[in-house]
A = this chain, B = another copy of it.
Amino acid sequence: MTDVSSDTRLLRTQGVTAPAGFRATGIAAGIKSSGALDLALVFNEGPDHAAAGVFTRNKVKAAPVLWSQQVLTTGRLRAVVLNSGGANACTGPGGFQDTHATAEAVAAALSDWGTETGAIEVAVCSTGLIGDRLPMDKVRTGVREIVHELAGGLTGGEEAARAIMTTDTVPKQVALHHRGRWTVGGMAKGAGMLAPSLATMLCVITTDAVADSAALEQALRNAAARTFDRLDIDGSCSTNDTVLLLSSGASEITPSQQDLDDAVLRVCDDLCAQLQADAEGVTKRIVVTVTGAENEDEALTAARVVARDSLVKTALFGSDPNWGRVLAAVGMAPVSLDAERITVSFNGFPVCVDSTGAPGAREVDLSGEDIAVVVDLGVGSASASIRTTDLSHAYVEENSAYSS
C-alpha cells in the first residue's frame, strides 16, 4: 500500500497554475486608486473546459454573480476574470452591462491571440465596495494587457491571488498533487461564502484531472458545504461570493468521483483555514464544535449560533472563559437540547457539566491564538463544526472605516 497522505501533499507555494493546462496572472489596472494589483485572469488552455460554480445565497446579487451563474449553465468556461477595487453590486442595469462588456473584452482579446472565445465562456468576479460603477476604461485596457501578458507566456498564480485581495493581508493559495498524477490548485480572498462572509469571498479552483461538469459540480457542492459554508466570521453574507472549479483534463487522468471529491475538499478546507487566519481583526482562531445533537443539521445550526454570538466572541477576544455566554447562546438555537445536560469544554478542559460550572472553569487559560469550543447538547450523537474568529477592536476599527 502506498501512503496516501504523503503522496497527496498540500503546497501553499502553488495555486491555480499548479495543474497542467492553466495560466494565470494579476496586474495593476488602476481600478484601485492605490495602484495595487487589482485585475486577475485565470485561463484554461484545455483540452477540456468543464466548469462548475457555487454562489452567494444573498437575494441581492452583484452583476458578476448574475452573469457567471448564467454562463455556468453551459457547464464550460475558458477563462475567469476577477477584479478587486469594486464589487459592481447594486449598480443597476448599467452595472450588468459593465460585467457583460468585461466578458466580451476578455473573449475578444483571447480570440485576437488565437484562442477563439465567446463571452459566454468567460466568468466574471468582482470584489470591493458595493454601489459604485467600475471604471470601465481601466478595466478594458487592463483586460487587453493581462491577456497580452498571458499569451506572451507570463504566468503566475500568486500574482492572480494577490490581485483579488481587498482587506486580506496575505494571498491565499494551495495545490494538492494527487500521487504525482493529477493536481488541484486554488486561490481565494476574503472570508465568507453562502451563509457567512465579512468581505466578499472569491475562490477559483483548477484541476488537470479529466472530469465533466457534473463531476465537478458534485465535488464542489460537497466541498463547499463542508468548508466555506462552515466558515462564519460575522454572520454576514456578501452579494458577490463565488467559488468556481475548472478542469483542463490536461493530465489525461480520470480520477474516481471519490478521489476528486476528496482532493477538492482538501483544497477548499485548506483555503478556509487560510481565510480564517487572515479574517478582519482576527486575534483568535476559534472552532466551535457541537456534539450530542439529534442530527448534523441541528449540530451545524447550534454551532453557527454560538459562533455568531457577539458576547461569546468578545469574551474569547478577552481570553475570558465565560462559559455562561456559550450556554446563553446555544439556548437560543432552534434545535433539540437537554437544558439540564449541556456540557462545554474550552481547549479540552471541561468548564460546564450538566449545565453547571465545573471546578476550575474560571481559570482555564485561553491566552493562545487557537480556541476549541465543544458543546454537547445531550440528546443525540450527531456533530458539526464551524470555524470563526473573535470580535476584536481591530474588527470594529477596520469595519467602521472601510468605505470612508
Contacts and interface: CB of A to CB of B under 8 A. Distances in A.
A55 interface: no
A327 B399 contact: no
Interface residues of A, number: 65
B87 A324 contact: yes
Contacts of A234: 310-311
Interface string A129-147: 1111000000000000000
A318 interface: yes
A236 B310 CA distance: 7
A396 B314 contact: yes
A106 B393 CA distance: 44
A229 interface: no
Contacts of A357: 90-91, 131-132
A145 to B, nearest CB: 29
Nearest to A87: B324
A133 to B, nearest CB: 9
Interface string A329-341: 1111000010100
Contacts of A310: 198, 234-236, 310, 391, 395, 399
Interface of A: 57-61, 87, 89-92, 95, 129-132, 195, 198, 234-239, 308-311, 314-315, 317-320, 322-325, 327-332, 337, 339, 342, 352, 354-357, 361-362, 391-393, 395-397, 399-404
